[in-house]
Amino acid sequence: MTAIHLTDISVSYDNRQVLGPLSLELKPGEIVVVIGKSGCGKSTLLSQIYDRLRHRAAWLPQDLGLVDTLSVYHNVYMAQLDQHSRWYNIINLIRPFSEQVDNVRPWLKRMSIDDKIWQSVDQLSGGQKQRVAIARALHQGAEILLADEPVSALDGPKADQVMACLTQQYSTALIALHDVDLALRYGQRIIGISDGRIMLDQPVQKLSQQSLLEFY
């Protein structure tokens, strides 16, 4: 059984091939970390996979995809928008249902940002915004997590805590990371990309910090 099985993915911009052709398979219960130098194609790979698995995946893009003018609560609630009727969502936008607030609040607590629940996202710092986007991905509860540099704006201990939280909630995930320690700690398998191609694909037990340096 496979969670992700994609073959012959390739992307070009203006006749310049930036990704692939490549194929990728992920088993259920596998946490795979994607590494590679800036511009190698990590975001392109993740967004291509998200395009194909939209209905099964929680998506945490690098640009976060938050609605800046809405509150923290509403941004996190949006993860489950498709589970309710249009009317329910409109009423909840104007006057949030207490049961929905109770569902959202624990994720904000996990991200230490519950004190900002009614604050508009455009009033938050970069790290706070990233924690809101992570809370939204946690609240979604999909089959697979696709995350592009999910902890890039967080400091050491917070990044560690958030990675633990994401990998507890999602046992199947594909995560792009630029931190070698986090990649080795949380990945079960590491994929190294260079010039849009997979140049390394190994279980973490076979890898050392040294062996990953060429991808950073």
Candidates 13, 98, 157, 213; binder of ligand ATP (CB under 6 A) is: 13
Report the distance separating Cα 58 and Cα 144, nearest Å.
6
Closer Cβ to ligand ATP, 44 or 71, answer by number: 44
Q: Which is nearer to ligand ATP, 16 or 206 (CB)?
A: 16
Among 35, 42, 79, 180, binds ligand ATP (CB under 6 A): 42
Residues 45-104 within binding reach of ligand ATP (CB under 6 A): 62
Distance, CA of 99 to CA of 195 (rounded, Å): 48
| Closest residue by Cα to residue 174 from 211, 149, 141, 199 | 149
44 touching ligand ATP, by CB under 6 A: yes
Residues 135-164 touching ligand ATP, rule: CB under 6 A, are none
Q: Is 15 in the site for ligand ATP (CB under 6 A)?
A: no
116 close to 72: Cβ distance less than 8 angstroms: yes
Q: Look at residues 68, 67, 29, 34 and name the one whose alpha carbon lies nearest to residue 50.
A: 34
- Smallest separation (angstroms) from ligand ATP to the CB of 34: 9
Q: Return d(Cα 112, Cα 134) in angstroms, integer.
A: 11
Chain contacts with ligand ATP (rule: CB under 6 A):
13, 18, 36, 38-44, 62
